[in-house]
Structure 1
Amino acid sequence: MKCTGKKQEDEKVPRASATLGLPQLNGSEDTMGRTKLIIENRGRHTHFTWEQRLQLQYHHNGTNGYQKIRSPLVLGTLLGKHESTIRRELNRGMVEHLRSDLGTVREYNAEYAQLDAKLKGGAKGPDLKLGHDWALVEEVTRLVRDKGYSPYAVIAEFNNTHWPSGTRICEKTLYNYIQAGYLGDLTEKDLLLGGKRRKAKGEPKRHSRAAAAAKSISKRPQEAEDRSEFGHWEADTVVGGTGSSPTCLLTLTERKTRFEITRRIDSRTARAVKEELDVIERQIGPTFFRLLFRTVTGDNGGEFADIAGLEQSVRSLQQRLVLYFAHPYSSFERGTNENHNGIIRRFIPKGSDIADYSKRKVRTIQDWMNAYPRKILQGMTPSMALQAELGPELRLPKILEVKR
């Protein structure tokens, strides 16, 4: 007895074959009377070739105009290999890439898989671009270990200043070499966040009654929303561990350029925040302050409750900025500032007493962040981006300049 679904199955096979762009031989049936899908032998080999790895990368990641295909079974059909072979190859070449927002994405990388295969005596691929260029290896190691740079930041730093040798490599190649162990004892563990991204838990915030009467983030100018104009900031406080001193950090992040101002303050209070903004205004002058600070968006914490005090100049008593508040429990509305606070936690771990870190140390952290090349800024540092916004006729005040 023939299968009742034979006609339907026979119709599916050509459609599936056409979708995948595969050749089919008709006329052969299995024991149930259904048409078999027969794939041409496209030169099956025990090992993956470089071309096959590239094709796997394009299909798996959906790049270079290829349709994204995640199924090992379908990928195996495309490449003429068994499903288990595809799974092993994906495990071999799967890498984590750090995004500009410090999150990670897992993708199959053909070059890394080829390097791994070469290291283990498998398929032969192109020679390493580094060769014996130890000057480049040493400088990469210094930037990653001593300055905490990611592979992207390393390449951007070389492009912004100078390459230590004649060898040129790209960000992905550098990632691959580190993960394959081709840079001496430099490993993934030396990378920013160790190649992993931990999801930070939101800290409980104290909500102020004054914030209810403040301007909502929904009324913020469009120039602040779309980052088309510099001078719009996000603000927050970073506190110490339970039982530690009340000393905390006031963090201010400029939305367009990602420029960071981090100050140690005595307490997480409206008075302390207001006084520190007054200090900044005195240091850079009221005119430059109004140019630099058009708006500030804070959360609903009590430390931003003195709306009038924060908005009013300590010098002229005129309005120096406009204060907006994010919606309650919506830290994502200040995402840039939240990401920067996560970077600060690399230097000042959660649970630490902020009082143990001097103002000089806090300034060092601020300078590191402002001198760090960012992919979202096309390789520029926040300091460079802010100076570009100011133009050649204006210079950053010394109190905000990066100290190398």
Structure 2
Amino acid sequence: MKKHYFELIRQGMKGAAAARVVGVSTSCGSVWFLDAGGMLVPDPGPVSPRFLTQDDRIAIADGLQAKLSVKAIAGSIGKSFQTVYREIERNSKPDGRYQPWWAHNQALLRRKRPKQNKIRDNAVLRKAVRDKLTEDWSPQQIARYLARTFATDATMRACPETIYRGLFAGLLGRKEGKLRTGRTRRKKQRRGVAHPNKIKNMRLIHERPVEVNERRSPGHWEGDLIIGGGQRAAIGTLVERNTRYLRLIHLPHGWKAPQLRNALVTQTADLPPELRQTLTWDQGRELTLHQDIEALTGFRIYFCDPHSPWQRGTNENTNGLLRQYFPKGTDLSRHSLHDLREVAARLNRRPRIVLGDRTPAEAMRDWLTGSLAS
């Protein structure tokens, strides 16, 4: 009923008429209207699926009323819980209540264009920003400084994006040398837009067979790179999920996709076919040629979700152990193939509590012996 009332108001109907249509008194409608802020901005509809709709905000309010967790609410509307947290914090009323029509109205007001250009229209703000740029402050540091120094004056606030836009529009003096990066052209912003170079034909981890998740038998590996100082060199790490057996991949010619493909193919060729079943990797560009690797090795490759290292937990743990031998910030190019094999052998001879205090080498040998016997 309330939703229908606000839909009619947004369509231009008078409050009294809208109240009659939905079957409430004019005074009841007036209370609703005032509680929503006393003004409704026309809603053109979401310009992108990443924006919350009025229905999403109603669902959030209903979930809060029912005392559901933010994660449960987010799942019910198909959004991330971070989005819902930000929505509640940003669009709640001054008294702390989350009112969906008020919240939607505030979002629409912020979305209205064109917006006032703070840098152009406020000489005091412009000078404050220019002075800090001259002192080699970054736009992020300037934005935080303004928020602290002018906590009660909204006209003296500017987010980093506003400062970047003002700088590249020429409102803050000459661009050359203003940023520590020395960049003189605007870097494209791609919020909500898929990267054009996304790895094609990825098979995601959620499609991986159940037996891999349950670690029933060897042959299923997790892979990653550890990067050296200055990103000048890298080492590939392969860890077998069942036995924790480690194989290090020597990358003397770099770790771009062709070099990694060639190294994986040649340095896993000695593994028996039954030990080359699946390989799980993150979505790094170094595995762009995953289909070539599959064809040449027999591995079936699966990709983790973005920013989800826990989906390769065995590999992440092993990479931590490897930093004892390959500390962060050091030059990894000085390590030969022999060095890598020696380090891998050391870890494979180290007992693991998860293996009942057996070593990965023993666990792998036991499985191979049993496999040959059968």
Normalised-by-shorter TM-score class: 0.3 to 0.5
Task: Name the TM-score, length of structure 2 as normaliser.
Answer: 0.45
- Structure number having the greater helix percentage: 2
Q: Which has the higher contact order (CA 8 A, sep 6+)?
A: 1
